[in-house]
Every structure is written in structure tokens, then in C-alpha cells.
Amino acid sequence: MRKNNCYSTDRCGARSQKGAALMIVLWVMVLLTVIASEFVFSMRTEMNITVNFKEETEAYYAALAGVENAKAEILSSGNAMKLDDNGILVFDDKQPQRRGNFGNAGYSYDIIDEERCLNINVATPEQLKKILVFAGVEDSQMNVITDSIQDWRDPDDLHRINGAEEEYYRSLPKPYSCKDGPFDTVEELLLVKDLTPVIFGSNNEPDRRGIAKYLTAKSSGAININTADRIVLDAVFGGATAESIMSQRPFIVPAAGGVIKSSFFTVISTGVSGRTKRVVKVILFKKNDKNIETTFWNDNFI
């Protein structure tokens, strides 16, 4: 007699249905696993975004706390200011503690005297050339840059022999207008004809050669003889006077046409929360011992 594995049609059909049901269950489980994985990934992403936002906010407000502490330090300082052995600006011979905590975040800040620098809005061609010489700029390029700086800041549209006005800047591959007004920031120099990033350098890297750290766009125009670099003193007062100033400072009274009390300061404040950092840069004008005014603000400084 021939054997039959299915003893009845109903029993074979039941086995087929069970197999189909098992496949459906397996596919449902796979689908649920994928959905659960996507949900976990989405929640993890949302959590990271929330943590990053929290740290970003904490770091930013910590940086603001540093700015406010800097304001208080500047307002409470007396007339005496100088650079310590590390080149850090100190007031009244008090070693500063320019760091602290704000909630869960920490902050630190630096105060930089803007009147240690030559103001590019009032600097003479001769003074500008002395700064450019130190940066290693050749004579032909130096004349172009010096004339172009003057053309950029003067109100007319007539260019000097080696300078540039609207016609030149509008002819560039990425055209823009000549300002014909005072510089608002030192970084604006990078828009001037022939003034390259290499020549500009960096005002945040004191060991790097360039002109940025010797120039400012925000100052009274006076030079603080207690804080100015030898290069700036040479450009403004001449080599012999600069040498004399360097050998005698700190001064307790003004000398050589310079000042010993500054009114403009840059504050660079860094807030840190977790792995997040925010840097705020401001330039402050100390009107008197009770009032201080913000003349420049960058709350996303790099």
C-alpha cells in the first residue's frame, strides 16, 4: 500500500496555514525590530540635540558672565596699568583671576588694551609703512597698501597714485564697494587692495608675524606707553624715543606724548560647558569710572 504523508486534505491545509502564519509572525517581528531601532535612534538623536543645546546655552551665558566680570574689573581699576612678565594686562599691580564658574559651566577671559595699538583711522602713511616694513612687505607693495588704506577710509572717490577706489573693487571676480569711511574693525583691512591674509597675520597669535596685532580701529588715537609694543612705539615716536620708553617703563606719569591710562579695551571671553565652547568678543569704551559702553560685539567669535 502507498504511504501518504498527509492523512487528510484538512491536515495538509492546516500545516500550510501554520507555515504561512509563522512567516507572517517572523516578518512582523522584523518590522517591529526595525521600528524599535529607528525609534531608539531617533530618541538618541533628540537627546543629543537637547544636550548640545543645553551645553551651548550654558557656555554662551558663561561667556557673557566673563564679559560682565571684565567690565567690573575695568570700571574698578585705577589709572595704573601695565603688562606683566607674561604680557598680560594688569591694573594697579593686582594679578588678575580672570576665570570662574557660572552654573554648570566655566568661563575665562582676556582683557587687551586697544590703545597699545596704532589706530588705522588716524595713522599717517609713514606710520603705516613702518608697521608694514616689520611684516616684511616690499616697497612696491607697501606703497599700494598704504595708499589703498587711505583711499578706503577717506570720503571721496579719487584714488591716490598707488591706491584703489570703487572702480577697482567693483572689477574684482567677487565685487564689492570701497567703504569711503572709517574702519570699524581691524579685519576690514583684508578687503583693502593687496593686503593679504599673510600680511594681515592674526591679532590672536602674538608670536605670528603680521600687522594685525599692532593695529586697532577702536581707540582714542593715543598710544599707551606702558602697554604698546616696541614696533608701535617705533612707528609713532621714532626709534630713539621708543628705546627710551622701553627702558624706563612702567611710567607713573605720561611722557613723550603718550598716555598711561587707556579707554578702549577688547575682551575675549570663553564659556565652556561639557564639550561645548562659545567665545564672545567685545570692545569696550570706558567713559569714566562709572560708565562703560560696548562699541563692538561678536558673540560667535572663532
**90 and 132 housed in the same domain:** no
CA–CA gap between residue 229 and residue 116 (Å, rounded): 7
pLDDT of amino acid 44: 75
**224 and 109 housed in the same domain:** yes
pLDDT of amino acid 52: 82
Number of alpha carbons in the 13 Å side-chain half-sphere of residue 287: 6
Higher pLDDT, 41 or 88: 88
Q: Does 69 reside within a domain? A: yes
Q: Does 204 reside within a domain? A: yes
Q: Does 36 reside within a domain? A: no
pLDDT of amino acid 94: 82
Average pLDDT of the residues in 254-268: 93
Return all residues near 242 (Cβ < 8 A) that are at least 6 apart: 230, 233, 234
**251 and 236 housed in the same domain:** yes
CA–CA gap between residue 39 and residue 45 (Å, rounded): 10
**180 and 250 housed in the same domain:** no
* pLDDT tens string 101-160: 999 999 999 999 999 999 999 999 999 999 999 888 998 899 999 999 999 999 999 999
pLDDT of amino acid 11: 60
Show which of 215, 248, 274 is a domain's final residue: 215
Q: How confident is the model at residue 300 (pLDDT cuts 50, 70, 90)?
A: confident
Is the pLDDT at 35 greater than 60, yes or no?
yes
pLDDT of amino acid 84: 85
**127 and 208 housed in the same domain:** yes
**128 and 198 housed in the same domain:** yes
Q: Is residue 223 classed as helix, strand or coil in its secondary structure? A: coil
pLDDT of amino acid 50: 73
Is the pLDDT at 55 greater than 50, yes or no?
yes
Show which of 190, 215, 240 is a domain's final residue: 215
φ, ψ dihedrals at 109, nearest 5°: -145, 155
**209 and 126 housed in the same domain:** yes
Q: How confident is the model at residue 1 (pLDDT cuts 50, 70, 90)?
A: very low
- Calculate the CA 290 to chain-centre distance: 27
Domain count across the chain: 2
Average pLDDT of the residues in 18-47: 76
Name the percent of the chain in helix, strand, coil, to the closest 5. Answer: 45, 20, 40
Residue closest to 232 by CA, chosen among 131, 88, 101, 96:
131
Show which of 184, 215, 246 is a domain's final residue: 215
Q: How confident is the model at residue 77 (pLDDT cuts 50, 70, 90)?
A: confident
- Contact assessment for residue 286 and residue 294, using Cβ atoms and an 8 Å cutoff: no
Domain extent for 144: 120-215
Least confident segment among 4-18, 189-203, 228-242, 288-302: 4-18
**206 and 86 housed in the same domain:** no
Q: Does 230 reside within a domain? A: yes
pLDDT of amino acid 5: 54
Is the pLDDT at 18 greater than 70, yes or no?
no
Higher pLDDT, 37 or 279: 279
Element holding 282 (H helix, E strand): strand 276-286
Q: How is residue 218 written as a grid cell?
A: 577702536
* pLDDT tens string 187-212: 999 999 999 999 998 755 555 578 99
Return all residues near 227 (Cβ < 8 A) that are at least 6 apart: 81, 82, 83, 89, 113, 115, 116, 262
Q: Does 25 reside within a domain? A: no
CA–CA gap between residue 257 and residue 245 (Å, rounded): 11
Cβ atoms within 10 Å, residue 10 = 9
* Helices and strands, counts by H and E, the chain: 7, 9
pLDDT of amino acid 46: 73
**283 and 159 housed in the same domain:** no
Can you give the CATH number for the domain in which 145 is found?
A: 1.10.40.60
Average pLDDT of the residues in 209-227: 93
Q: Does 12 reside within a domain? A: no
**141 and 282 housed in the same domain:** no
Q: Does 201 reside within a domain? A: yes
Q: What's the mean pLDDT when you consider all of the chain? A: 88
**112 and 258 housed in the same domain:** yes
Per DSSP (E only), the strands in the chain are 81-83, 89-91, 99-102, 105-113, 118-119, 215-216, 264-273, 276-286, 292-298
pLDDT of amino acid 177: 96
Q: Does 200 reside within a domain? A: yes
